[in-house]
Amino acid sequence: MVQLSDEDIRARSWDYNVVNRFIPFVKPYKKDAFQGLFFVLTLTIASLFIPLVIKDIIDEAGCLVSSNCQSAVDVQKALLYGLIKFVGLSAIIGFSIFMSEFIIERMGEKILLDMRTNMFLHLQDVSISFMDKTDIGRLMSRLQGDVAAMQEALQMSVFAIGDMVLLVGIISVLLFMNFQLGILTILIIPILILIRLIWLPRAKKAFLDARIKSSLATSYLAENINGVRTVQTFNRQNYNGKIYEQKATDLFKAQVRATKLSALMMPTVETLTGLAFAIIIIFGANLVIQDKITAGVMVAYILLVQRFFEPIKTISMQYNVMQRAMASGYRIFEIMDIPVSIKDPVKPLNCDLDGSIKFDNVSFAYIDDNYIIKNFNLEIKNGERIGIVGPTGAGKSTISNLIHRFYDANKGKIILGGVDIKKMSQTHIGKNVGMVLQDPFLFSGSILDNVRYGEEKISLDLIKEESIKLGIDEFIQNLPNKYETIIGQRGSDLSMGQRQLLSILRALLADTKYLILDEATSSIDSYTEKKIQTALDVLLDNRTSITIAHRLATVRNCDRIIVLNDGEIIESGNHDLLINNKGLYSKLYKLNYSSFDD
């Protein structure tokens, strides 16, 4: 069984496997990446020339102040030319900023869409066993927050290249203008490296801890929202509120620790910037006095040093983002690496099925060797109505899961319509096996969208015709917009009986050869059950069906009733035969028990 683990990401800072897995998502947009990089580099180079242009303007204007220019007209032309260069470079910088941010943002959004789509499609295919045992809140956290973190890291990485080029460019220009002053200025870099070596391990731990706490808080929040009815039923609001408050407090503390460590870098860099300015002012002014450098060089140095620490600040922030991205990337690809345990055969045998079902010595366990059904044998003929009853845990719903191939049997074979179920594609099984469940799931959207689910081409006239057959057209016609009425998530604004009737209509429109009713009437009152039972009689006509129930009355009219206990058949026959057998079924019925769980 695959399990998702948050703790595993604590040890990851830079993971080449995550980077290599991320590259295929970037490849389709390499043109955008190169275009974005081009404008980033253009921006960087233009930014380097601005201080040099200002230096030339100041040096040219210096002679006007001291009145020692050989030709005032030539100086004015040089100043005008310098001004034009300055305006031109500013225009290039502005255009490059717009283009780089637009292209890189657009590319990031495309990759974000692709990753989320890939994760969604993969989660649609993973085995039911994984989904049954996985916290949905944690999946949502990875699908939303972690993918966004990877997108942010990608965008930052493109700008990081520009920052690195800018850093190297500034150092080169500083050394070129005056080697001595340049060396004194860049001696600050080793101090910064030492500070970062001390800071990084603590920052890494804090960022990953904050990410884990965020996942735990999100997971608990999603779980309680989904189970809000149960929470209110047992009056657990205050108790759950205290638990969430503790998780939110843990998240708050972790975020504060991470923020504090992140905030430490900014004043550190600012302090080093001030130290660099002090060096320039003290040593630079002395060099100007000695006529070893011009005032323009001094100003250019100040501007360049100011720019020198900007990419250092940005790279510090980018490293923080990259830390989160490595953790997020690991969590994302952990989802994508979940194996699809139920796979279609290479050459599926998708032929017409004869309506029969056969369990041939089937054993199945959800966990290890804890078998729910053992050496189970059952044959169902075409068009036969089978009822399966038994206490909770007897293996009734397991049988329906195996027929739909949500799980594979550990031992034995399941023959559907004369064909081994493992030799068919899951799509073919889905087109032939319909299900009506105890808790019908309706999606947000119109009633029409819900009953057409999986069969979008069905006409409204046919839907109305089948609704009338089932006796549910009247209740739909009384809704505000009839078949176009929008219902909320899970159909929460409809009664349980109405939701179940819509799920029966959906199953009827799917027109499958087999139909499984898994506790379809167990959560509704007897009056509504009679209405649904009438609809089911229409639905089950000319179909092979299995009705799984606790209530004995639900299966009374079945052709054959299977009584299960501990995964084994203990009785089999129609209602009258089982009554005459005077076994468990007969005893419960005569004692007027309505359910095996009574």
The reply to whether 144 and 254 lie within a common domain is yes
Residue 417 inside a domain? The answer is: no
Kindly give, in sequence order, each residue whose CB lies less than 8 Å from that of residue 217, ignoring residues fewer than 6 positions away: 244, 247, 248, 250, 251
DSSP 191-252: HHHHHHHHHHHHHHHHHHHHHHHHHHHHHHHHHHHHTHHHHHHTT-HHHHHHHHHHHHHHHH
Question: Looking at residue 368, what is its pLDDT?
Answer: 72
User: Is residue 152 located within the same domain as residue 39?
Assistant: yes
Q: Are strands 419-420 and 371-380 parallel, antiparallel or unpaired?
A: unpaired
My answer on whether 138 and 219 are in the same domain is yes
CATH classification at residue 59: 1.20.1560.10
| Cα separation values, 307 from 44, 166, 287, Å | 11, 9, 22
The predicted-structure confidence for 407-435, as pLDDT tens digits, reads as follows: 888 888 888 888 888 888 878 888 888 88
- Are 303 and 189 part of one and the same domain? yes
Q: pTM for the whole thing?
A: 0.60
8 Å CB contact between 75 and 63? yes
Confidence of residue 491 (pLDDT cuts 50, 70, 90): low
CA separation for the pair 260, 437 (Å, rounded):
51
Q: Please tell me whether residues 306 and 388 are part of one structural domain.
A: no
Residue 231 has pLDDT above 50, yes or no: yes
Q: What is the pLDDT of residues 543-592, one digit of tens each?
A: 888 888 777 777 878 888 888 888 888 888 888 888 888 777 787 777 65
Of 320, 336, 352, the one marking the end of a domain is: 336
> Based on the domain organization, do 307 and 392 belong to the same domain?
no
* Count of C-beta atoms within a 10 Å radius of residue 282: 10
Residue 15 shares a structural domain with residue 129: yes
The rounded distance, in Å, linking the Cα atoms of 513 and 181 is: 86
For range 70-81, the mean pLDDT: 70
Whether residue 426 lies inside any domain: the answer is: no
Q: What is the mean pLDDT of residues 321-343?
A: 74
One domain for residues 90 and 207: yes
Is pLDDT at 95 greater than 90 in this prediction?
Answer: yes
Whether 127 is in a domain gets the answer yes
The verdict on 329 and 438 lying in the same domain is no
Q: What is the CATH number of the domain that holds 511?
A: 3.40.50.300
Domain tally for the chain?
A: 2
> For 357-403, how does the pLDDT look when each residue is reduced to its tens digit (9 = 90+)?
888 888 888 777 788 888 888 888 888 888 888 777 778 888 888 88
The reported pLDDT for the residue numbered 526 is 64
189 in a domain, yes or no? yes
Q: Clarify whether residues 143 and 278 are in a common domain.
A: yes
pLDDT over 70 for what percent of the chain?
83
Is residue 344, in this structure, part of any structural domain at all? no
| 376 in any annotated domain | no
Same domain, 141 and 281: yes
Full residue range of the structural domain in which residue 519 is found: 383-399+431-590
Residue 416 lies in a domain: no
Give CA–CA dist 590/576, Å, rounded. 12
